[in-house]
Amino acid sequence: MKHLLVIGLLLLLSCLFSAEIKDGQLYLEVFILNGQQINVSTPGNIIISEIGSPVSRNYQGNITLQLVSKDTEVMWGLINRTEVIVPDSVSIYADENIKEKFIWKDGKLAVQYEKLTFEDKYFPSQEAAEKYAAETGYSLNQIKSIPIQNAGLKVKNGNGVEHFYQLPVSMICHDTTVFDQSKGDYTGTFIVKAIQGKLSLSNLLDIENYAAGVVPNEIGNLAPKEALKTQAVAARTHAVSLLLMNRHINDGYDLCNSTHCQVHKGNFLREPQIDKAVLDTKNIVMFYDDKIADAVYHSNCGGKTETNQNAWSGKPLPYLQGVACYPELDSIDLSIERNAVNWINQIPGLDGMSSWEKRSELWDKTISRSTLEMNSGVRNPRMVTILRRGTSGRILRMKINGSTEEIISGEFKIRQVFGGLPSSFFYFTNGAGTGTGIYSLADNISVKGKGFGHGVGLCQVGALQRARNGWTWDEILEYYYPGITLRTDWLDINAMHLNGRDPE
Ligand SMILES: [Zn+2]
Ligand SMILES: [Zn+2]
């Protein structure tokens, strides 16, 4: 077997709603790709089963999955009641009106199921439902789409033999499998559903295997082992916070595979040292008080990390208030323009760093005035005033003047306006105003900066350097997230058996 961790091939075929708790482990559906048709390439066996039915077939080699009836026939209805229910294994799949939701209950992650009961009145369009609601006094958030799940799947093997299934189906691939243009290869259990008129393919895997698929894509497969462990705990913790946001509740999976959630590419770069790092930190996540910590991370802070409220607004979290990645910055205020410029001009020590780390330490970029004009909406931009820098020196608010004037707020927006900069910790090298924060703009606007990403939480380059200098993974985490505790008791293993409560 390729991996140290046991791949959960023999999974319960009942109760595969989306996430699942089984044998004390949390299983997640992680999106891979969608389409009208999906090509599955593998040298081995594929077992396809209808979920909640005994129909199951074994295929050898490549197959094609095709959606044969679309579930685009969406109707709209009005919810008159939402009720927390105790799920019953198979019916949960049959009943489209059950929604699964992650909640934080008594200091643990739990899965809660809600049954939506609709009024006996349906509408062909959202507009029609809204019109009715306005006339009769229903609230707009009582309006929900009701997908008609009559979708079928056609499976065609290499000899042209076709079989039909009722969706959703589970698919088990014992060997290395590639789906269409998927960015990595996969092994294990997959779920195919019909979502918004397309086949949606996701990987059903436990959180340890999920973390092992994230770590090499987020910090590199060749990172020192303490940095890999640091990343494994951050990825696992961040996954739990992402689940609690329920951001993919209507998409038919729990987490996506891109930077929106965390990058996951199946077996890609998943080497023995990755599995070892995950296993050595098995089940460990970060808490602050009695809550899961928001374990955000980024590539390179550039010197100091940023506060969560500066990066995204929202209330300050005590463990995300910024730390000095370089000890010499401890007493230097990078929110002061002159200090920020001085620090950016320091030549970094690049010893032991990989090429992506070096590139994120110090960078420059030239943007044309016309690009800035297009991105900012300011006609003929001539001058920039830095209105506010954060703890990390990142620009949080600036004013651009030309024939018109715009205030640009937010580190991400500022990076975009200047053509997608690695971070908003930069200054204008060909403007006159060093120290004042007022820069005049040339035709070609040159900027110089440090860092990569939003700057909040764990700095990956800082973690790598600390690991190279002999820090252990827990020391690294406690440095970047001061005050957190490391715990393994974050999952309510009985979450599937919640007590029902009275209907509202
Ligand atoms: Zn996502
Ligand atoms: Zn750093």
- Which tens digits make up the pLDDT trace of 409-433? 999 999 999 999 999 999 999 877 7
Provide CB contacts within 8 A for 253, sequence distance 6+: 18, 29, 30, 31, 191, 200, 202
Which residue matches tokens 């209330």?
315
Confidence band of 54 (pLDDT split at 50, 70, 90): confident
Taking the centre of ligand 2 as the mean of its atom positions, its distance from the CA of residue 391, in whole angstroms, is 13
Which pLDDT score is estimated for 11?
Answer: 31
Phi and psi at residue 189, to the nearest 5°: -105, 135
By the 10 Å C-beta count (0-12 exposed, 13-18 middle, 19+ buried), 334 is classed as buried
Structure tokens at 219: 């910090």
Taking the centre of ligand 2 as the mean of its atom positions, its distance from the CA of residue 83, in whole angstroms, is 46
Q: Identify which ligand lies nearest to the alpha carbon of 262.
A: 1
Q: What is the pLDDT of residues 358-371, one digit of tens each?
A: 999 999 999 999 99
Helical packing angle, 225-245 and 272-280, nearest 10° = 70
Angle (CA) 221-426-381 rounded to 5° is 130
Q: What is the pLDDT of residues 92-148, one digit of tens each?
A: 555 667 778 899 999 999 888 888 788 888 887 888 888 998 898 888 878 877 655
Mean per-residue pLDDT of the chain: 88
Which pLDDT score is estimated for 22?
Answer: 77
Q: Identify which ligand lies nearest to the alpha carbon of 263.
A: 1
Residue that wins the pLDDT comparison between 300 and 143: 300
User: Residue 277: what residue type?
Assistant: A
Taking the centre of ligand 2 as the mean of its atom positions, its distance from the CA of residue 290, in whole angstroms, is 27
CA distance 309 to 311: 6
Angle (CA) 384-388-391 rounded to 5° is 135
Of 306, 433, 414, nearest to 367 by C-alpha is 414
Taking the centre of ligand 2 as the mean of its atom positions, its distance from the CA of residue 458, in whole angstroms, is 8
| Secondary structure (3-state) at 341 | helix
CA distance 171 to 156: 14
User: Residue 30: what residue type?
Assistant: V
List Cα–Cα distances, 236 to 240, 251, 277, in angstroms: 7, 21, 12
Q: What is the pLDDT of residues 152-205, one digit of tens each?
A: 899 999 999 999 998 889 999 999 999 997 888 999 999 998 887 789 999 999
Taking the centre of ligand 1 as the mean of its atom positions, its distance from the CA of residue 476, in whole angstroms, is 27
Provide CB contacts within 8 A for 284, sequence distance 6+: 233, 236, 486, 487, 488
Of 326, 324, 323, 322, nearest to 348 by C-alpha is 326
**72, pLDDT greater than 60:** no
- Side-chain-side CA neighbours of 16 within 13 Å: the count stands at 27
Taking the centre of ligand 1 as the mean of its atom positions, its distance from the CA of residue 232, in whole angstroms, is 18
Q: What is the mean pLDDT of residues 46-58?
A: 88
Structure tokens at 454: 């939003």
Taking the centre of ligand 2 as the mean of its atom positions, its distance from the CA of residue 303, in whole angstroms, is 5
Q: Identify which ligand lies nearest to the alpha carbon of 29.
A: 1
Taking the centre of ligand 1 as the mean of its atom positions, its distance from the CA of residue 390, in whole angstroms, is 27
Structure tokens at 296: 């955000």
CA distance 54 to 173: 18
**484, pLDDT greater than 70:** yes
Of 495, 155, 452, 177, nearest to 325 by C-alpha is 452
Q: Identify which ligand lies nearest to the alpha carbon of 463.
A: 2
Residue % of the chain over a pLDDT of 70: 90
Provide CB contacts within 8 A for 219, sequence distance 6+: 227, 228, 230, 231, 460, 463, 464
Which pLDDT score is estimated for 196?
Answer: 73
Other residues' Cβ atoms within 10 Å of the Cβ of residue 325 = 23
**31, pLDDT greater than 90:** yes
Taking the centre of ligand 2 as the mean of its atom positions, its distance from the CA of residue 304, in whole angstroms, is 6
Return residues with CB closer than 5 A to ligand 2 (ion).
301, 325, 459, 462
CA distance 430 to 161: 67
Confidence band of 87 (pLDDT split at 50, 70, 90): low
